[in-house]
Every structure is written in C-alpha cells, then in structure tokens.
C-alpha cells in the first residue's frame, strides 16, 4: 500500500485488521464496513473465506462509526472468528499491496469508499448494498467503470439502484447478499423469542425498531426532543389505542433500540408518560424490552405480527421473508417525514407501497388503520427456514472473476 493510502486512512482514523493463512498462493480479500449492518454482511463472507483454500489472506477496514462506537464489538467478533489474536495487527503499512478482491459495504464512509478505490491497488472491486434506494458516493461514481459487480438484496433493490445509477450496466447488479441467509428462521427460534419475552401463546407481537444516530436526529428546529423518542411516543399512543379498541386480543409491544442508540433511559421515560413501564402490563397491553442483548433480531421480527420503524433494513426483509409479518414504515408527519424523504424520495415510496406485506404510515391515524386491517394471529405466521446460501453463491461468483 502506498504512502498516500496510509496517510489517507490514518486521517480518517480507520483501522485495519489482517489475517494471513499459512499458505503462499491464493487470493487476498479486503472487506470494509462502518457500522453493525456492514459487519453483518461481511461476517458470513469471512467465515467462509477462513476455510476456503482459494483465499490466502483477509483484511478488514473499519471506518467512521465502525472505528468508534462499533469498533470494540467488531474487533471482539473478529477475534472470535479467527480464534487467534496473534494473527491480527494494526499496522496499516504492513497490509499487502496486491488486493485481489476489494468488497465495500455501502455504509462505509463516502470518503473512504472513494479513497479505497483510488489508493488501493485492488484488481477487482465489488459492492454489497443491504439497503433499498441508497446511492453510491460521488467518489465511487467517478470510479464506477472499475466496479465489477454490485450485490443487492432483491429485484426491488436492483430496480431502485438502477434508478439511482444510470451509468452502471444492469448485468453488473446481482441479487442476493450475505445478510439474507440469516433472515429465514425456524419455528424453534421463534418460540425461543416468545419464551424469552414471556409472551402468552395468543399474544400479538408488534415490534418497534429504533433508528440509528439518535443523538443527531432532532425532530425539527422547534423541538429539541430526539426524533427516535417522538416516534416511539407516537407508536405508544397508537398501540395503546389499538389495544383499548381490541380488548379481546392480547397485544405485546416490543422495543428494540438501534445498536448505536445508547440512550435507552429516554425510551423508558417516554413509556412512563403513558402510565406503563417497559417490562410491565396494563390491561391487555404488555411492553417489553427486546434489545440485542435479549433476543435475535431476525427471530424477533419473524415472531411479530407487525414490524414498525423508519429506516431499518429489517422492515424490508419482512417482504423477503414472506411469512405473514407486516412491515410498516413510519414517516409520521411532523416527526420523521423529512428524514424518511431523504432516504426514499417520492418515486421510491410508490414502489415500496406496492410490495407485499409492506405499508407506509404518514400519520398516527394511518398506523392505527393499518394495524386494524392487517393483524394476523401468531398461528397464522408461516415459518420455513431456507437452506439456500447467498454467501456461498457470492463467493463463487467473485472467485470466477478473479
């Protein structure tokens, strides 16, 4: 790696981990991530590459939030993956010049993404896009002729990606990303979640997924209250009314803050404003904490009648899982609509609304109506665990090109 790349990465406070196998031949893979979502896409690939004889070394680059709020967790996971801390070092200058395959997740900081493409002498460049409607950085677009392939979640994501990137040929967009292998869960995993959350057998589970960057998302210039909290209060109000209107049904509202949101006490305080504690029950409504320390997110969503949130990829996964769970985006007017519109412009909203098991609630009234007409009982949720491996298919595709 040349000195320009070294200074570039150090300026961004980026971290590099390298694992070299005891073999001289094979390909050198470099993967980049900047947040939990990006690492979740990289982790299955790393596991496969560690046991693949066609790979001689693996490098990871973490930047942005990955190098700060998420770094400790990702380092720990990486240590567990390779089972030896001796295989890792943090000296950027020691990373090999010749990178055979550079895989970038779209969460990587834009400057790092464009910088990597410019500075690292990668023979082949691949992107993994785990969201719908996200654009590549301007730097990446300038280097789009160097892109071998872009892996996206599904045909919807492919359509939205091509709308945003007119200069990239459709045959370079491949459906299927590593994270999809984890969204199919079996009945035993769902039952485990319901047991951990202590849900009655007939309870309808509604899951609220928090938004990242909580401390930066202020609702409006007139309100200093966090957008996440205002959105949670709106959900509390609607679900409470829904429970009152359906007293013959038991409703459980699960709160799952985003991994980067450390201000859980604000969610608890907001719940007290509705005279109910998280972890307690009022009438036919129960509110539970379903954070990452308590249960698996994919199993939680598969166990839910509804999955609510603003940006979470898990809401899009609802449509791909197709088990009867209904996903609801929440661009509530005056709370989260402007933030949502920045990610999903008007033309993409219309596309999303046409997807099975997905809805968009622009107001609390919309949300209440959707809950009323789309509620399914726990027994109606279909659970089939697929053995198909996107991770294996992706690696075979990459190896065929390098």
Q: Domain extents for the chain?
A: 3-182+387-401, 187-380
Class of CATH domain 3-182+387-401: alpha beta
pLDDT over 70 percentage in the chain: 73
Closest to 283 in 3D by CA, of 307, 253, 310: 253
- Least confident range from 63-77, 202-216, 317-331, 377-391: namely 63-77
Phi and psi at 297, nearest 5°, equal: -70, -45
Residue 213 neighbours by CB distance under 10 Å: 16
- pLDDT tens digits for range 260-271: 676 777 888 888
Q: What is the pLDDT of residue 333?
A: 92
Q: Do strands 281-282 and 285-289 pair parallel, antiparallel, or not at all (unpaired)?
A: antiparallel
- pLDDT tens digits for range 33-89: 777 677 788 888 988 998 999 998 888 776 655 444 444 554 555 455 544 444 444
- Least confident range from 37-41, 284-288, 356-360: namely 37-41
Cα distance between the two ends of the chain: 20
Which range, 34-43, 156-165, 170-179, 312-321, is most confident?
170-179
Report the alpha-carbon distance of residue 116 to residue 62 in Å, rounded: 12
Report the alpha-carbon distance of residue 160 to residue 317 in Å, rounded: 16
CATH of domain 187-380: 3.40.50.2000
- pLDDT tens digits for range 222-253: 444 678 888 999 999 999 999 999 999 999 99
Q: Say whether 150 sits in a helix, a strand or coil.
A: strand
| Between 392 and 20, residue with greater pLDDT | 392
**Are domains 3-182+387-401 and 187-380 of this chain identical in fold?**
yes
Report the alpha-carbon distance of residue 234 to residue 358 in Å, rounded: 19
């Amino acid at each position: 790696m040349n000195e320009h790349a070294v200074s570039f990465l150090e300026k961004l406070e980026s971290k590099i981990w390298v694992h070299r196998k005891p073999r001289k031949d094979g390909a050198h893979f470099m993967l980049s991530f900047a947040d939990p979502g990006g690492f979740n896409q990289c982790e299955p690939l790393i596991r496969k590459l560690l046991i693949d004889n066609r790979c001689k070394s693996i490098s990871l680059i973490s930047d942005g939030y990955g190098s700060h709020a998420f770094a400790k967790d990702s380092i720990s996971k990486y240590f567990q993956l390779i089972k030896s801390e001796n295989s890792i070092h943090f000296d950027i200058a020691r990373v090999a010049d010749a990178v055979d395959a550079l895989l970038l997740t779209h969460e990587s900081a834009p400057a790092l993404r464009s910088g990597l493409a410019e500075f690292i002498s990668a023979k082949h460049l691949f992107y993994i896009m785990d969201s719908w409607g996200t654009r590549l950085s301007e730097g990446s677009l300038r280097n789009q002729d160097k892109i071998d392939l872009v892996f996206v979640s599904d045909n919807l994501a492919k359509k939205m990606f091509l709308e945003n990137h007119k200069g990239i040929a459709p045959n370079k967009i491949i459906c299927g990303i590593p994270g999809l292998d984890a969204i199919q869960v079996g009945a035993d995993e769902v039952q485990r979640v319901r047991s951990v959350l202590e849900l009655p057998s007939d309870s309808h589970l509604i899951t609220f997924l928090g938004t990242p960057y909580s401390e930066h998302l202020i609702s409006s210039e007139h309100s200093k209250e966090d957008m996440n909290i205002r959105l949670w209060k709106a959900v509390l109000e609607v679900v409470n009314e829904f429970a009152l209107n359906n007293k013959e049904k038991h409703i459980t509202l699960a709160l799952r803050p985003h991994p980067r949101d450390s201000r859980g006490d604000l969610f608890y305080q907001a719940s007290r404003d509705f005279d109910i504690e998280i972890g307690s029950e009022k009438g036919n409504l129960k509110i539970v904490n379903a954070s990452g320390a308590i249960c698996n997110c994919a199993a939680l969503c598969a166990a839910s009648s509804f999955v609510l949130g603003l940006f979470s990829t898990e809401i899009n996964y609802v449509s791909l899982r197709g088990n009867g769970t209904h996903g609801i985006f929440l661009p509530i007017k005056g709370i989260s609509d402007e933030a949502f519109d920045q990610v999903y412009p008007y033309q993409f909203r219309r596309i999303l609304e046409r997807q099975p098991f997905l809805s968009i609630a622009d107001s609390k009234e919309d949300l209440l109506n959707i809950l009323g007409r789309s509620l399914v009982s726990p027994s109606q949720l279909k659970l089939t665990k697929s053995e198909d491996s996107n991770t294996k298919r992706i690696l075979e595709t990459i190896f065929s090109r390098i």
